[in-house]
Chains A and B, each alone.
Chain A
Amino acid sequence: MKKKLLALGLACAMGLSLLAGCGGGTGESSQPPDNSQMPASQSGGEGEAAGQVYYLNFKPEQDGQWKELAEIYTEETGIPVTVQTAASGTYETMLTSEMAKSDAPTLFQVNGPVGLNNWRDYCYDLSGSQIYGELTSDDYALKDGDSVAGIAYVIESYGIIVNETLLDEAGYTVEDIQSFEDLKAVAEDITARSAELGFAAFTSAGMDSSSDWRFKTHLANLPIYFEYLDRGITSTDAIEGTYLDNYRAMWDLYINNSTCSPAELTAKTANDSLNEFVSGQAVFYQNGSWEFANVVGEGKLSEDEVTMIPIYFGVGDEANQGLCTGSENYWCVNKNASEEDIQATLDFMYWCVTDETALQAMTGGEGAMPSGEAGMGFAIPFQQAPASANLFVQLDAEMTAEGKTPVSWNFTTMPSEEWKNMVGSALAVYAADQTDANWDSVVSAFVDNWAAEYALANG
């Protein structure tokens, strides 16, 4: 009998130890997580630092830099900062599962108004925060009614990256390209002579999921931008598709003057396209300032042989068109975190955009990190920020100074991820078989599906 009791006791102990590991993760309460229950090991048992920061970072390419900054901040203030980075394309998944935990991220990102839809109930109102006061323009705040739900912390630009050496070999300079017609003429001439020149006009417009966002989202921004401009609106429940013919002309140009046959595009990845550009197989490469470190560097292209030109679309005042500039990286603070954690997070954010080391890390290039690693090279919209070391970002600033109008990022108003996917799918089908019927399905995915998805998301 004694033994049986002993056995029972042992089993219960084992069972309990299993349960203890789960914290309260299985609870179904809708209460905000109670941080007093957090395992002591979380903060490493280190002093009584007020609050802590858990940053779920969206950009995998800057994971190392953020971790380093977090360490520096912890050293300076004693407040523990945890940085986790989601693998490319899995941010939403990771955020969903992390948010359900008792030690949820205190600082996370949304990509704009549509992304905010999911996380509205989690966003702390930043309108009274110090960091909000640091913004250079109110445009960089993500508003939800009267409250400030998010703050853009990086401004990026995209356009057509040009390999000037190759362009020169083909007998042109970037000054020759001032409009869509110019671009088309140059590209088609290069295609016609590609055998002799040994390179193509455009890198492959890969429609693999690693690359298709360049066209279903970024390129698709242009017809939306010009339509919004015409109609004087900033978002809509039903797009008209006024400039879809230009979209088609551009897409035709990309796919028919590229390194591979249009039928193979669905299998081409982002890496394929990048490698083609870096190894000099093509002159033009549609991408953005975030791609700078991948394009320029040792064993890649040198800084003085690349430049970025606007995506000329054959609409409006092309001579004064700038790069596509905007943000889809907004910092949000989790309002369900404990008060100390919220305060710690706000302090950390403020530190990031005011402290000298942090500013240098965020904006600098080679060797900008205290450890000697390259900085993040961002252009950040805060008052104390120095200019970015990123060439493409500098180009954007120069163009704006010259009086060119940057194209704003309206793809943040696309009704849903599903809308983009359907446009992408239709574009890929059209690329393989360029008939009017297939283009009609792109148009239908663009126009009809916009209304349908908008109704679903907001209905």
Chain B
Amino acid sequence: MQKAIKRYWPIFVLPTLAAFIIGFIIPFIQGVYLAFCQFTTVRDATFNGISNFIRALSDNTFTHAFWYNCAFVVVTTIAINVGGLVVALILTKAIRGRNIFRTVFFMPNLIGGIVLGYIWQILLNCVLSLLERPLLNLDATAGFWGLVILMCWQQIGYMMIIYVAGLQSIPDTLVEAAEIDGATRWQTFWRVKLPMLMPSITICLFLTITNSFKLFDQNMALTGGQPAHQSELLAYNIYYTFYGRSGPQWRGIGQAKAVIFCAIVVVIALVQLRLTRRREVQQ
């Protein structure tokens, strides 16, 4: 087996590597280059230094979208992970219809973001109009919480599956030993299960943080950035800069924003991975 892999690795690696280079590495490098250019299509770029970055950073909607997005990431990351873990804890108990519940909680994941966005827009607008409050597109705060609700509804099920897998891989012997030693249920959870769950937590935090930063279709469908860019998350702001504005300079500015955005997400994700990895324990 080992020998076969050694001999045939090019067959397995090279096609994928080629696809990865063509589909990711080259566009990525080209994208970074374009951030320093003025261009209409990717073929007619002219270099113009860092002026795109200066204009991107001095764009109020971009800085607003950044802070709005940060708040969104904090709220959703906490809500989704706490929610997912709680549901996972409940659904790893011996209760009837456990698998049905798991399926039901997972299902929102299978619906596309745009569809979800529009469905929730209708639902939330109905609720808001019954409460005689301004509709989603008129109120950035309502838009924010609408996005949070939507995101939780969609993501909790997915994180639940990861937590369920994590919980099931904790050896019964450890939990039993803790019980025999007289640990309360809370202590068992806090001192035994949770440390054993750290690999799952690492993954889930990573997924929720990056997903929340990259959220696009739900944002576009639910609020469309209304009112007046007040409910724009970063990805949507970049899209809007790139496609929504007319004039040759905007594409480059959008590209510069995208590069800044990419750097921010990478840095935050790496910091998070390092912090949580440190807390992972060996069995």
Contacts and interface: CB of A to CB of B under 8 A. Distances in A.
A429 B137 CA distance: 9
Nearest to B45: A30
B171 interface: no
Chain B binding surface, main DSSP class: helix
A118 B40 contact: yes
A30 B44 contact: yes
Interface string B159-198: 0000000000000000000000000000000000000000
B138 interface: yes
A428 B248 contact: no
Interface string B21-38: 010001100100100000
Nearest to B42: A100
A22 B22 CA distance: 9
B135 A28 contact: no
A19 B41 CA distance: 21
Contacts of A237: none
Interface stretch (A4-12, A42-50, A182-190, A403-411): A4-12
A433 B134 contact: yes
Interface string B122-136: 100100010000111
Contacts of A457: 246-247
A100 B248 contact: no
B226 interface: yes
Interface in A17-69: 18-19, 22, 26-31, 33
A26 B26 contact: yes
A7 B134 CA distance: 65
Nearest to B230: A425
A275 interface: no
Interface residues of B, number: 41
Interface stretch (B7-15, B101-109, B200-208, B272-280): B7-15
A451 interface: no
B7 A26 contact: no
A425 B41 contact: no
A8 B12 CA distance: 10
A118 B246 contact: yes
Nearest to A425: B228
Interface in A76-99: 92-93, 96-97, 99
Contact of A26 (B10, B27, B138, B226): B27
Given A3-B7, A263-B129, A118 B243 contact: no
B228 A422 contact: yes
A340 interface: no
Nearest to B17: A15
A7 B46 CA distance: 42
Contacts of B33: 28
Interface string A249-273: 0000000000000011011000000
Given A4-B7, A417-B244, A417-B246, A15 B228 contact: no
B238 to A, nearest CB: 13
B19 interface: yes
A432 interface: yes
B246 A267 contact: no
B98 interface: no
A78 B86 CA distance: 67
B137 A96 contact: no
Contacts of B137: 207, 266-267, 428
Contacts of B228: 421-422, 425-426, 445
Given A7-B7, A96-B243, A19 B135 contact: no
A446 B248 CA distance: 23
A429 B230 CA distance: 13
A30 B22 contact: no
A29 B19 CA distance: 21
Contacts of B22: 18-19, 22, 26
Given A10-B11, A18-B19, A416 B245 contact: yes
Interface string B239-255: 00001111110010000
B224 interface: yes
Chain A binding surface, main DSSP class: helix
B134 A118 contact: no
B15 A18 contact: yes
Nearest to A102: B43
A26 B30 contact: yes
B41 to A, nearest CB: 4
A426 B40 CA distance: 30
Nearest to A12: B14
A238 B19 CA distance: 51
A174 interface: no
B18 interface: yes
Contact of B11 (A7, A27, A209, A418): A7
Contacts of A117: 246-248
Contacts of B135: 263-264, 266-267, 432
Contacts of B49: none
Nearest to B18: A15
B45 A28 contact: yes
B15 A15 contact: yes
A139 B8 CA distance: 69
Given A96-B40, A122-B40, A14 B14 contact: yes
A241 interface: no
Contact of B8 (A7, A12, A207): A7
A84 B38 CA distance: 27
Contacts of B129: 263-264
17 contacts: A7-B7, A14-B15, A15-B14, A18-B22, A28-B42, A92-B243, A96-B251, A99-B43, A121-B40, A122-B40, A263-B135, A267-B135, A417-B246, A421-B244, A422-B228, A457-B246, A457-B247
Given A14-B14, A267-B125, A418-B245, 16 more contacts: A7-B10, A11-B13, A26-B26, A26-B30, A28-B45, A30-B44, A96-B243, A115-B246, A118-B40, A207-B137, A416-B246, A416-B247, A428-B138, A428-B227, A432-B134, A433-B134
Among all A-B residue pairs, the 4 with the closest Cβ atoms:
A11-B14, A100-B41, A266-B137, A15-B18
